[in-house]
Amino acid sequence: MRIIRGCWRSSQGAPAERWRPAAAHAPAVNGYEQLLQPPRMVCDVTYWMNQILFDLGAPAFALNTAIEATTLASRVGGVQCCIMPSCCGLYEQEVIRDRIRPGDMLVISVGGNDIALAPSIFTVLAMVLLMLTPWPFLFWFHPAVAYFIGLFRFQVQCYADRLTQRTRPAKIGVCMIYNLDERNGESWANMALCILCYTCFPSMLQRRMRLVFELATCRIQVPGSEVVPIALADALDGCCTEDYHQRVEPSVIGDQKMARLILHRLGWQCETPGYRYQKLCRAHSCACSGSKTRLLNEVVRALRRCPPSPTMLRPCASFAFLALIGKASGAFEPGYLATAANYTRAALDGYLQGRFGQPAGELPAKGDPALDPCPILNSWPDKVEIDAPNPCNPLASAGGWTSEAPGSGMPLVMTWSQQCSKVGASLVPETTYSLPSGGLFGTSRLVPSLMGNTFQLNDCVGYTRYYIDEKVYHVVGEPDAHACEIYGSCDGSVFLQFIIRDHAGRKIAHTPYLRLFQSSFNIEDTSGLVVAHVERIGHWNPMSKMCSTKGHRWLVKFPDLTLPGASAVFPTAADRWPVAKLVTIMATRDASRLSSGLVSPSVCEVEKTGLLVISMVFLAVALGALYILFLRVGVAPMQNACLDFESSCCPRRKMAATSRFPKYTV
């Protein structure tokens, strides 16, 4: 049995006493019935994660160690004006930092209270500017968008890095807040929702939240861990009122949907993420083994050795979110019991120090069907032909990967198509890869980078699996005769290099320095072993715009993994798909590459940049027209109104009839 050692989930929440119904409790499950006294749990996200894992029979459990009503500013500080007494340091952060291990999973959900519960003046101004700005003007360099990118990307990334600075977990899930209830009902937050025009136009706030998710949360990177962006709006979209309490807080059903979504995003096959779980708050019989019960009792005894103190931790039922997926086979290890009620820090530290000296558990195997929510390739051919963009149809860039095996009839391996991104702030197109059955396999897109160009290779749910870097070098001096004659590159020499990095940013393979439009080359790993051989099929010019019925194709040959000299950087043949994506990216960019090695702007970039310029000109003209109209029509009435107000509220003093001072005349 494969063991997932842990999944830490850290977040914040509004005070539960304000909205939590008294009936939202259930008997403890998944081992907690042996630990909690009385054995009752609040039906929050952590409870439902335990309930679902228990019903699945999964070797895992969830643990909650977050703190209510706290902000991101109270954890990392920043321009948000720290207003919490525990500024930049919480004990729970120290517990995670000191105890987390490589097999754990950390799930973070923070930032919502920085906007809704305790916003700073900077956050208020940014939110007002964000809501007043029309949608076509919202790009990453917009001041309000840039502010929230700094909050939800860089500060959350700093927080995650601080939590895991000693040991990197297997996965780090970062959540974005869910959509609020669109129905105008009773709520303590109605005033704030009215100011944001959420009741009349809920899509305004929802689209801006999705934009921040795409530009900030999806781009968080923590070296050494796989970052999993989780949009809670996929579970709570605002259309189902029964998912909410007081419009802004999740109900028991809403918590259940979020728990299912989180487990699904982490790789657990637990039905549809938004499916309503029908086993609502039912009692369960104890299914603990003898060793599990003994260890739970041992935990209780260890944590009760010290009497309660004023610095005790809050009960686990009151915390917002922090879950741990842990080992539950054989001897049950309850993990980091940072949320156990009425236990002091000294008792907790003593128990944790004694229990967690053994090495971390085994990580799940890559491509395990029970843990991978995306389609899995069962096989991969030794030779793959990849279509380059067809000059006959420059506006529709699409193609396919086919097998070149003899007698195979050229079966289709995968198709790819390139289209403009639906996100308003993204200028570059996105390439989509689909299986022959029509299912989505993954995507790739260019992301901003200071040095060269970096492409993200994402799977079907948006998780970044690999990165591909494109480097362009210009060497001053004698030009390459072939490139000068065929491609017109006569100003020195141009070299390109492509680098493949894994999800943690580690370099795993690369090409040599390639001359401009080189027709064949090898891809090697860091040890110099061959990963694949790439060559152009036929004699065709990548810069040519002439239509040809033969098409433009590349051939990728993979060596036998059993032969000496073959690289094992991709352990199985089915894991070699990043090489095909690299060749596809190279082919699509070669179709627009100039003689200097740089790539001309795509149709998406031209269209969206033109729309931006036209919108900015229109806005400037509109503001100028309003200013001129105000000067011509509004100045005089406003001046008269000010004078009337001054004369009525602040009249001038009347001069005395006679002066005390004599008048002198010359």
Return the domain boundaries, the chain.
9-355, 383-600, 601-643
Beta bridge partners of 554: 386, 536
For 575-617, how does the pLDDT look when each residue is reduced to its tens digit (9 = 90+)? Answer: 899 999 999 999 999 988 998 888 888 878 888 788 888 988 9
| Comparison of pLDDT for 478 and 581, the residue scoring more | 581
Could you tell me which residues come within 8 angstroms of residue 89 by beta carbon, excluding any fewer than 6 positions away? 75
Residue 573 has pLDDT above 80, yes or no: yes
Q: Do residues 180 and 247 touch, judged by C-beta distance below 8 A?
A: yes
Could you tell me which residues come within 8 angstroms of residue 648 by beta carbon, excluding any fewer than 6 positions away? none
Mean pLDDT of 180-209: 84
Angle between helices 121-132 and 202-215 (to 10 degrees): 110
pLDDT at residue number 587: 92
What does 540-585 look like in DSSP terms, one character per residue? --TT-----SS--EEEEE---TTSTTB--SSSSGGGGHHHHHHHHH
pLDDT at residue number 432: 92
What mean pLDDT, rounded, does the chain reach? 74
Environment class of 294 (CB within 10 Å of its CB; exposed 0-12, middle 13-18, buried 19+): middle
Most confident option among 136-145, 241-250, 532-541: 532-541
pLDDT band at 532 (very low <50, low <70, confident <90, very high): very high
Residue 28 has pLDDT above 50, yes or no: yes
Mention the CATH class of domain 383-600: alpha beta
Distance CA 584, CA 399 (A): 9
The single residue listed with the structure tokens 């999993």 is: 228
pLDDT at residue number 98: 76
- pLDDT over 70 percentage in the chain: 72
Q: 73-82, 119-128, 469-478, 515-524 — which is least confidently predicted? A: 73-82
Environment class of 99 (CB within 10 Å of its CB; exposed 0-12, middle 13-18, buried 19+): buried
In a 13 Å sphere around the CA of 567, the CA atoms on its Cβ side amount to 22
Q: How far is CA 55 from the centre of its chain?
A: 29
For 219-242, how does the pLDDT look when each residue is reduced to its tens digit (9 = 90+)? Answer: 898 888 889 999 898 888 888 888
DSSP 539: S
Neighbour count for residue 494 (Cβ, 10 Å): 24
| Comparison of pLDDT for 364 and 536, the residue scoring more | 536
For 392-417, how does the pLDDT look when each residue is reduced to its tens digit (9 = 90+)? Answer: 776 678 899 998 654 555 678 899 99
Distance CA 453, CA 214 (A): 19
pLDDT band at 90 (very low <50, low <70, confident <90, very high): low
Structure tokens at 43: 């039906």
Most confident option among 118-132, 519-533, 590-604: 519-533
pLDDT at residue number 286: 31
Q: How far is CA 632 from the centre of its chain?
A: 50
Distance CA 33, CA 558 (A): 54
- Global confidence as pTM: 0.49
Q: Do residues 499 and 513 touch, judged by C-beta distance below 8 A?
A: no
pLDDT at residue number 365: 43
pLDDT at residue number 314: 30
Mean pLDDT of 127-140: 82
For 506-523, how does the pLDDT look when each residue is reduced to its tens digit (9 = 90+)? Answer: 899 999 999 999 999 999
Mean pLDDT of 525-550: 87
- The alpha carbon torsion through 162, 165, 171, 173 (nearest 10 deg) reads 0
Residue 487 has pLDDT above 70, yes or no: yes
Most confident option among 88-97, 268-277, 488-497: 488-497
Residue 469 has pLDDT above 90, yes or no: yes
For 258-285, how does the pLDDT look when each residue is reduced to its tens digit (9 = 90+)? Answer: 888 888 888 877 655 444 433 333 333 3
pLDDT band at 122 (very low <50, low <70, confident <90, very high): confident
| Comparison of pLDDT for 635 and 114, the residue scoring more | 635
Residue 351 has pLDDT above 50, yes or no: no
- Strands 412-420 and 429-434, by their bridges, are antiparallel
Q: Do residues 246 and 180 touch, judged by C-beta distance below 8 A?
A: no
Mean pLDDT of 434-440: 87
pLDDT at residue number 353: 52
Mean pLDDT of 497-513: 92
Neighbour count for residue 318 (Cβ, 10 Å): 20
pLDDT band at 354 (very low <50, low <70, confident <90, very high): low
| Comparison of pLDDT for 633 and 89, the residue scoring more | 633
Residue 496 has pLDDT above 80, yes or no: yes
For 606-661, how does the pLDDT look when each residue is reduced to its tens digit (9 = 90+)? Answer: 887 888 889 889 989 999 998 898 888 888 888 888 888 878 887 766 655 555 55
pLDDT at residue number 155: 86
- The stretches of 117-217 forming alpha helices (DSSP H) are 121-132, 143-149, 156-163, 190-195, 202-215
pLDDT band at 126 (very low <50, low <70, confident <90, very high): confident
